[in-house]
Amino acid sequence: MSSNSTQPAFQLLPRHIAIIMDGNGRWAKKKFLPRLAGHKAGVEAVQQTVKRCVEKKIEVLTLFAFSSENWRRPQEEVSYLMQLFINALKNEAKKLHEQNIQLRVIGDRTRFDEKLRQQIDEVENLTANNTGLKLLLATNYGGQWDITQAVQRIAAKIESGAISSLAVTDELIQQHLSFADLPDPDLFIRTSGELRISNFILWQLAYTELYFSDVLWPDFNGDELDRAFAFFTTRERRFGCTSEQVTQRI
C-alpha cells in the first residue's frame, strides 16, 4: 500500500516503523565482551521496543534482524544469530500471542535450516489472526532481493501471457513486494550513528522520514523510541507537493 496525497501533512505517530538495529558488536567491544554478548543484549532492546510500540498502538514494526549480506560474517556468529532467532521465537511465541501481536518473517527463507523454518511457521500460524501490532522480522532480507523476486514473478506472468508488459506499473511492482498489504514505513530508524540504508527496504522508503540515533542498539529502549517519535511529529510530510498545498489539506 503506497503512501498517498490524502495523508495529513503532520502525523502524531507513525503507522509503520522500520528499524536497522545496529551497534551490537561495538556495544560488546566497549564492555570488553565477545560480539555475541552484544547480540544477546540486542534481544532485550527488541523486547523494550515492541513493548513501547504496543503501548502506543503502532500498526507495524519491521526489524532488520539479518540481511542477505550477513552470511558473510564468521560462521560462529551466523550460527549464534540463527540459534538466537530460534530461541527468541520459541520463548516469545506465547507472549506475542497474548499481546495480540501478529508475527511475520519477511525475506528469503530457503537458506534457513529446517528447525528455524519450522519455528517460524509455528509462530506465524499461532499469531496469524491477531489484530494488534504487526511485527515483521526481516531475516535473510535485502531490498534488492525483494525487488528482484518481484520482477521475476511479474516476468513469469508476462511470459505465460497472463498479463501484458503494459500492465507493469508502480502499483503492480509494489503488489509483488514483501508486505504489499501494509502501509509503507513512515519512520525509518538506524542506531549506532551510521548514516546508511544498507540494502534494507528500498522501494517502500521513497517518502519515509529518516531518523539516525547515536545510541548502540542494546541501549535502545522505549525512551529512545519516544525521541524518534518526537522527531517524527516535527516533520512535514509533503509527498512531492509544496508546503502550502499540504498545509491547506489539514
Distances (CA, A) of 18 to 100, 119, 137, 183: 20, 23, 10, 11
Of 22, 146, 186, 224, the one binding ligand FPP by CB under 6 A: 22
Distance CA 98, CA 79 (A): 29
Calpha distance 10→88 (Å, rounded): 36
Looking at beta carbons only, is 62 or 208 nearer to ligand FPP? 62
Residues 175-194 that bind ligand FPP (CB under 6 A): none
* Span from 24-32, 48-56, 99-107, 175-183 in contact with ligand FPP (CB under 6 A): 24-32
Of the ranges 17-25, 54-62, 101-109, 202-210, which one interacts with ligand FPP (CB under 6 A)? 17-25
* Grid coordinates of 227: 525521541
Q: Is 215 strand, coil or helix?
A: coil
Q: CB count, 10 Å around CB of 124?
A: 15
Q: In angstroms, what is the minimal distance from the CB of 123 to ligand FPP?
A: 11
For the annotated catalytic residues, the residue numbers are 22, 70
CA distance 112 to 127: 21
Instruction: Name the residue whose CB lies closest to ligand FPP.
Output: 25
Closest distance to ligand FPP from the beta carbon of 67 (Å): 7
> Closest distance between ligand FPP and the C-beta of residue 124, in Å?
14
**Do 186 and 1 meet the contact criterion of CB atoms below 8 Å apart?**
no
Choosing from 1, 13, 33, 43, the residue that interacts with ligand FPP (CB under 6 A) is: 43
Find the helix packing angle between 75-98 and 114-127, rounded to 10°. Answer: 20
Q: Does 39 bind ligand FPP (CB under 6 A)?
A: yes
- HSE-CB for 143 with a 13 A CA cutoff: 14
Kindly state the smallest distance separating residue 157's Cβ from ligand FPP, in Å.
33
User: According to the binding rule CB under 6 A, does residue 26 interact with ligand FPP?
Assistant: yes
Interface residue list for ligand FPP (CB under 6 A): 21-26, 39, 42-43, 46, 63, 65, 70, 84-85, 88, 137, 217
